[in-house]
Structure 1
Amino acid sequence: MKKSIRNFNIAVFFVITAFAVTSCGIPKALIPNWWFMKKARTSADLRDNPKIYDEEGDTEVIHLYATVMPDGNSFRDLASSGGEGEVSILLQEGDESRPLEGLFGYGASGANAKMKLAGNIMEDPQQNSYNITLDGESDSLYEIRSINLNKNPFDLTKMRNKLAFDYFRKIDNLVSARTRFVTLHIKDLSAGDKGFVDYGLYTGVEEANADYLKSHGLDPQGMLYKAQYFEFIKIKEPFEADAEPGYTKENFNKILEVKAGSDHKKVLTVVDDINNPKLNSDGVIERYFNKNNYLTWLAVNIIMGNLDANAKNFMLYSASDSPTWYFLPYDNATSMGYYGQTGYFQTPLSSWQAGVSNYWVSQLHRQFISNPQNLEALTRKIEELKSIINRDTTLEMLNGYYRAVSRYINADPATIQAEIERIAGEPQKNIERYYDSLYLPMPVFTSGILERDDKNYFSCQDGVSLIGGGVYYDFVLGHDPEFNSIIEQIDDSTLNEFFVNKLGPGVYYYKISLKNDNGDIQLSFDKYDDGSKIYFGVRQCIVE
């Protein structure tokens, strides 16, 4: 009886403590971990578990040694498997030269993990990314059982990936991931290797799965997806829930890669309601999404210039006992000026790939941003977060990383330092791009070539100005994508339909651009790539 009373008193103490946290601001260190989980499942706002991060050691480089076992697949065969195969490995930790006694895996002789390709597959195996998952009976590696080794081959600094996750840890209403810089050494016994081969520097990031959810104080029974290409629109290919006709795991994972859970009806209901014209879009968003999390996620991606996040490279999470969905960042490895690395990896971008217009491609984001109150809230959130994500903090973080990893980066130090300086300036530039984007019409999808009354015509969606003002349309049709040979040209039209005499058989190119009252131009979502040049806003059409 006394034991029961004691347990009751302890339970009452924790309940009172939890209540005091919400009303009196008791420090997080006094909150038991189950409170984080309960809070994340039932409360509107999202909270990461700060206890799992190693504040002192996570900028240090760790050295991992993977010995591929001789009785299975060869490591060199992984690339030819199309990313589907895996190899059994003995994973060990050491220093720069060898595995060390007292560290993970030392003294073991058999396989303790599986290794497979992750992300885009490169011809050079040293430029690939990998996932390593420890066997069930093995000890964990820094409390992690599955880790992604991200190579980031086109990031000159090799530091953007970690920079993003470390920033996420500083921001409320987001959940980050544990990261480490890693050098990887591989010895393939199945291919007769006698010694380890140095594969260079990676960013180790914990895998997002049910264990990840549990570690971060979220619901391990909840749903977790990584967007492969997901615009919150109706899906034409099979996208049904488990055990229903037409559903295949492969089709589903092309759109949303399943990281945890199996209740796919839940996300399909959200997609249906977002695309239901009979429902109020603000009501749908309010019902299914946490606004603080949504605004924070959008603002962070805009400040960091994470262009890929408009339809991919983000995660969606929902607890098993809640209808609410949360956005979780995935990696942001292509943010902070990634596409503008002069002389290293530079990709041309269209006019809409900046600021708020970058997110107009998504049905959900389009509905949310169209509401002036939501747009004002997004602007306030950006202004709030720029005190966290800024030039000075970025410089401090990157310079700290570079001190740790400089010996593993094969680039001139002066070049790296110049890139660090450029990256540090990106947050402010991205905020300026956001404000500039508010004054441009939002981009549109065009129709292709159509017929009406013995005429051909071209059209596009109605243009939208987020801050008011006029929207005007320019149309040009020609025989080439540079419009050296023009068939028809119409400027400053208030209508978004353009009629031309019926076209004979051949290949044609057209472009519909939108303008504001000042004549500033926004291109459509169209683009044409002839193999040597990308023509943004241009669409090819073929008349048989």
Structure 2
Amino acid sequence: YKVNYFEFQRDADVIRLADDPKYNLSKFEEKLEVKGNSDHTKLIAMLNQLNDYSVPMSSILGKYFDTENLAYWMAFQLLTGNTDTQSRNMYLYSPTNSDTFYVLDWDNDGMLMRKENQLRNTSEGSSWEQGVSNYWGNVLFRRCLQTKSFRDELDTAVKREYNYMNANRINGMVSHYESITNQYLWKTPDSTYEPLTRAQYDVVAGQLHDEIEQNYKTYRESYDKPMPFFIGTPQADNGKLKINWDTSFDFRGEDLSYDITVAKDYLCKDVVFSKTNLALPQIVMDLPSDGQYFVRVRARNTSGKMQDAFDYYVTEHGKTYGTKCFYIKSGQVVEDDNGQ
């Protein structure tokens, strides 16, 4: 299967056997594009086990997934900063006569883009797209990361790949490939589509190993922060507004608290409500007047490390901010023109 958008949830209304009267191939392939056998029996059996939290992940890894494969795949994405791999840009492959699924690398055009994004003033993504928290919204990867034996194997894979991607190797490869591509890059038609100036190109090429170095540091530090979570849809009732959110998770087992801000702008400067050090993941506030509002929730552990919610708002310029947008009309929370 080519993973188009799939977080390994059961999705029983869509992920069905091909001979099921309710099977809809178009809906199925919005999540998983069928590239091999259309018998989805193994896939459904795996998803049933994976989404049954009474089944320990250790037995699932031993049967339905190969730990080494998952660890080295994730290690590569983490070190290269290929963040758009939480729920797509991969293949899911299971050989004939085997229950085991393997995650295969596909589409690396988002890797090693930090400096280029800075030079082009484009969005670098949400704050949680850093280190292991990038994969927390995916059932498979979250359950793996919650399993110590997997984290140990991932750490081994990251260290080995990090040592392999040393400065001499990366800089030598950059120099070699530049000698081939430069003769075409600055001539038409290639130069027409090159988004960087020659000086910017040289800056990006000269610091690729620095990005790997930074990504390795970010990976190590990401275990010290709480994990991201989702904010629920605000509920209006009898002149009050209730907002709740999922609990966060801390790898070190530290106590967590939450800070919430409700504002009229996505930067949360025009504040209508604010509360800090909340122990429970919910608040009740007076219902504000009709209009557009933004809610930001952050989790903080006892060490002071903070994490944003998964929810984000995208501006018309493509910038992302860690806020959830909602609308109030006639004293009720309503959808906008886009059904959101």
CA distance change for structure 1 residues 477 and 255 in 2, over 3 Å: closer, same or farther?
Answer: same
CA distance change for structure 1 residues 427 and 530 in 2, over 3 Å: closer, same or farther?
Answer: closer
Corresponding position of 2:154 = 378
Match of 1:541 among 326, 329, 337: 326
The structure with more radius of gyration: 1
Alpha-carbon separation, structure 2, partners of 1:543 and 1:382 = 47
Deviation at 1:479, TM superposition (A): 2.2
RMSD of aligned Cα (Å): 2.1
Q: Are 1:425 and 2:210 counterparts?
A: yes
Match of 2:75 among 283, 293, 299: 299
Corresponding position of 1:286 = 62
Alpha-carbon separation, structure 1, partners of 2:202 and 2:288 = 55
Superposed CA deviations along residues 403-434 of structure 1, whole A, max 9, x for unmatched, are 11212212655433321112222211111010
Q: Is the 8 A contact 1:231 1:364 kept in 2?
A: yes
Alpha-carbon separation, structure 2, partners of 1:482 and 1:417 = 34
Superposed CA deviations along residues 320-372 of structure 1, whole A, max 9, x for unmatched, are 10001111101212112257433347323222111100010101111110123
Q: Is the 8 A contact 1:511 1:538 kept in 2?
A: yes
Match of 1:330 among 106, 109, 120: 106
Corresponding position of 2:250 = 465
Describe the SS at the equivalent of 2:285. Answer: strand
Structure 1 counterpart of 2:206, one-letter code: E
Aligned residues: 320
Superposed CA deviations along residues 242-282 of structure 1, whole A, max 9, x for unmatched, are 12122232222211122222222221221222112332233
Percentage of pairs with the same residue: 24
Deviation at 1:379, TM superposition (A): 1.4
Corresponding position of 1:240 = 16
Corresponding position of 2:188 = none
Describe the SS at the equivalent of 2:277. Answer: strand
Q: Is the 8 A contact 1:395 1:421 kept in 2?
A: yes
Q: Are 1:499 and 2:284 counterparts?
A: yes
Matched ranges for 1:333-412 at <5 A: 333-337=109-113, 340-344=116-120, 346-409=122-185, 410=191
RCO (CA 8 Å, sep 6+): is it higher in 1 or 2? 2
Q: Is the 8 A contact 2:119 2:200 kept in 1?
A: no
Q: Is the 8 A contact 2:69 2:102 kept in 1?
A: yes
Describe the SS at the equivalent of 1:229. Answer: coil
Q: Is the 8 A contact 1:228 1:257 kept in 2?
A: yes
Q: Is the 8 A contact 2:229 2:248 kept in 1?
A: yes
Alpha-carbon separation, structure 1, partners of 2:266 and 2:77 = 32
Match of 1:262 among 22, 38, 48: 38
- List alignment gaps of at least 5 residues for structure 1: 1-224
Match of 1:488 among 265, 269, 273: 273
Describe the SS at the equivalent of 2:164. Answer: coil
Superposed CA deviations along residues 465-509 of structure 1, whole A, max 9, x for unmatched, are 112222220001122222333221101212211111234443221
Matched ranges for 1:40-55 at <5 A: none
Match of 2:219 among 434, 441, 453: 434
Corresponding position of 1:188 = none
- List alignment gaps of at least 5 residues for structure 2: 186-190, 330-340
CA distance change for structure 1 residues 407 and 429 in 2, over 3 Å: closer, same or farther?
Answer: same
Describe the SS at the equivalent of 1:382. Answer: helix
Q: Is the 8 A contact 2:266 2:321 kept in 1?
A: no
Alpha-carbon separation, structure 2, partners of 1:365 and 1:236 = 20
Structure 2 counterpart of 1:465, one-letter code: D
Corresponding position of 1:515 = 300
Corresponding position of 1:475 = 260
CA distance change for structure 1 residues 317 and 462 in 2, over 3 Å: closer, same or farther?
Answer: same
Matched ranges for 1:110-259 at <5 A: 225-235=1-11, 238-259=14-35
Superposed CA deviations along residues 200-222 of structure 1, whole A, max 9, x for unmatched, are xxxxxxxxxxxxxxxxxxxxxxx
Q: Is the 8 A contact 1:355 1:437 kept in 2?
A: yes
Match of 1:527 among 299, 304, 312: 312
Corresponding position of 1:122 = none
Q: Is the 8 A contact 2:123 2:318 kept in 1?
A: no
CA distance change for structure 1 residues 383 and 524 in 2, over 3 Å: closer, same or farther?
Answer: same
Q: Is the 8 A contact 1:340 1:347 kept in 2?
A: no
Alpha-carbon separation, structure 2, partners of 1:449 and 1:433 = 33
Q: Is the 8 A contact 1:281 1:367 kept in 2?
A: yes
Alpha-carbon separation, structure 2, partners of 1:384 and 1:327 = 19
Corresponding position of 1:29 = none
Alpha-carbon separation, structure 2, partners of 1:288 and 1:261 = 17
Alpha-carbon separation, structure 1, partners of 2:159 and 2:270 = 47
CA distance change for structure 1 residues 462 and 453 in 2, over 3 Å: closer, same or farther?
Answer: farther
Alpha-carbon separation, structure 2, partners of 1:452 and 1:339 = 47
Larger mean Cα displacement after TM superposition, 230-239 or 366-375: 230-239
Structure 1 counterpart of 2:260, one-letter code: F
